[in-house]
């Protein structure tokens, strides 16, 4: 088995037939062993029944059905967990992505990359202010914060070497950040312009509410990347800073009092002092608790805070 295709499916009734037909056509022409794993994310239309019908026509089609809707990230992650191919390709099932791009992604991957991310270069033409600009801004922020420069993090059409993506645990809206994660682990990441056709059947499952959620997930991810195995360095530095400011303010208040310049009640310094000292101590305690949690995480699961590339006997 060389290739696993993962499809997240949520109420895509009208798209199942053309999607599977096009996938079978493209993959059948490639002369590689493949499987298609469709994850039905608790659809309330007849997507599941359609998939079951298709599985008797396309034997490579495997179906996983969630009891209730768990989100696109969860669907992708269930598919990735089950994938048996050396290469994993994720693709939207609403035909916004073009199955005909898959061979090109694989050629690029064979040049020695671990992740090839699709870039919907021609998306949002004619909607510059309302869609293109916000999307460019979001991708710019993600690139800056993660240090991994891609034009289109949101494109589901991506190809991965399986061992790079298998160990990644995905939460929230995080599937889009797998390339950043892979790069942090030392993987080679690149992007490739792909076709984009607006949806014909059904409607988008997301509204504008996704933007803040994606950015918050990014904050979590970047924080974990930088401080996962040393949270005290983060909380502790701010804690020490706050504590020192508190002491300084306290000393200043006492000096002013002793020199008879100002009484305690005449300056805000004593309040600042108390506040900064309390916040400082709290932050340091946060750091200690975070360290204990991280030790539980690493030690209970036998995880290591490093990735080995070679080791001699």
The closest of 56, 115, 118 to 92, measured between CA atoms, is 118
How far, in Å, CA of 87 to CA of 100, rounded?
Answer: 17
The closest of 162, 168, 196, 171 to 180, measured between CA atoms, is 168
69 binds ligand UDP (CB under 6 A): yes
Binding residues for Mg ion, rule CB under 5 A, total 2
Stretch of 4-12, 19-27, 77-85, 293-301 contacting ligand UDP, by CB under 6 A? 4-12
301 contacts: CB under 8 Å, gap ≥ 6: none
List binders of Mg ion among 228-257 (CB under 5 A): none
287 binds ligand UDP (CB under 6 A): no
- Report the partner that residue 284 touches, choosing among Mg ion, ligand UDP, none (CB closer than 5 to 8 A by kind): none
41 binds Mg ion (CB under 5 A): no
Q: C-alpha distances in angstroms, 27 versus 89, 216, 283?
A: 12, 37, 54
Q: Which is nearer to ligand UDP, 27 or 269 (CB)?
A: 27
191 binds Mg ion (CB under 5 A): no
99 binds ligand UDP (CB under 6 A): no
**CB count, 10 Å around CB of 13?**
17
Collapsed DSSP state (helix, strand, coil) of residue 10: coil
Say if residues 109 and 118 touch (Cβ distance below 8 Å).
no
199: buried, middle or exposed (CB in 10 Å: 19+, 13-18, 0-12)? middle
Q: How far is the CB of 120 from ligand UDP (least distance, A)?
A: 10
187 binds ligand UDP (CB under 6 A): no
Tokens found for residue 57: 């026509």
- Report the partner that residue 138 touches, choosing among Mg ion, ligand UDP, none (CB closer than 5 to 8 A by kind): none
Stretch of 172-180, 198-206, 243-251, 265-273 contacting ligand UDP, by CB under 6 A? 198-206
114 binds Mg ion (CB under 5 A): no
List binders of ligand UDP among 70-89 (CB under 6 A): 71-72, 75
35 binds Mg ion (CB under 5 A): no
205 binds ligand UDP (CB under 6 A): yes
The closest of 113, 120, 118 to 182, measured between CA atoms, is 113
Q: How far is the CB of 72 from Mg ion (least distance, A)?
A: 10
Tokens found for residue 198: 């607006």
Say if residues 23 and 36 touch (Cβ distance below 8 Å).
yes
Binding site for ligand UDP (CB under 6 A): 8-10, 12, 41, 69, 71-72, 75, 92-94, 96, 204-206
């Amino acid at each position: 088995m060389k290739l696993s295709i993962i499809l997240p499916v949520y109420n895509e009734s009208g798209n199942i037939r053309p999607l599977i037909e096009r996938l079978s056509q493209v993959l059948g022409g490639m002369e590689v062993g493949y499987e298609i794993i469709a994850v039905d994310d608790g659809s309330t239309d007849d997507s599941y029944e359609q998939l079951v019908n298709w599985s008797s026509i396309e034997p490579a089609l495997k179906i996983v059905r969630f009891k209730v809707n768990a989100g696109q990230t969860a669907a992708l992650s269930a598919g990735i967990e089950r994938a048996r191919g050396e290469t994993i390709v994720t693709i939207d099932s609403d035909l916004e992505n073009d199955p005909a791009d898959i061979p090109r992604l694989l050629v690029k991957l064979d040049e020695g990359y671990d992740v090839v991310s699709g870039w919907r270069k021609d998306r949002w033409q004619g909607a510059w202010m309302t869609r293109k600009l916000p999307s460019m801004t979001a991708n710019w922020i993600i690139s800056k914060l993660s240090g991994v420069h891609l034009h289109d993090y949101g494109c589901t059409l991506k190809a991965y070497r399986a061992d790079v993506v298998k160990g990644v645990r995905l939460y929230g809206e995080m599937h889009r950040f797998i390339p950043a994660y892979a790069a942090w682990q030392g993987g080679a990441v690149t992007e490739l312009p792909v076709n984009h056709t607006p949806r014909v059947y059904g409607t988008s499952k997301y509204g504008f509410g996704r933007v803040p959620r994606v950015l918050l997930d990014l904050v979590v991810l970047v924080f974990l990347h930088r401080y996962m195995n040393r949270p005290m360095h983060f909380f502790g530095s701010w804690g020490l800073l706050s504590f020192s400011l508190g002491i300084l303010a306290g000393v200043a208040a006492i000096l002013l009092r002793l020199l008879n310049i100002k009484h305690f009640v005449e300056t805000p310094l004593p309040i600042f002092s108390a506040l900064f000292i309390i916040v400082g101590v709290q932050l340091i305690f946060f750091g200690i608790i975070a360290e204990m949690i991280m030790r539980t995480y690493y030690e209970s699961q036998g995880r290591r805070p490093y990735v080995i590339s070679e080791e001699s006997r």
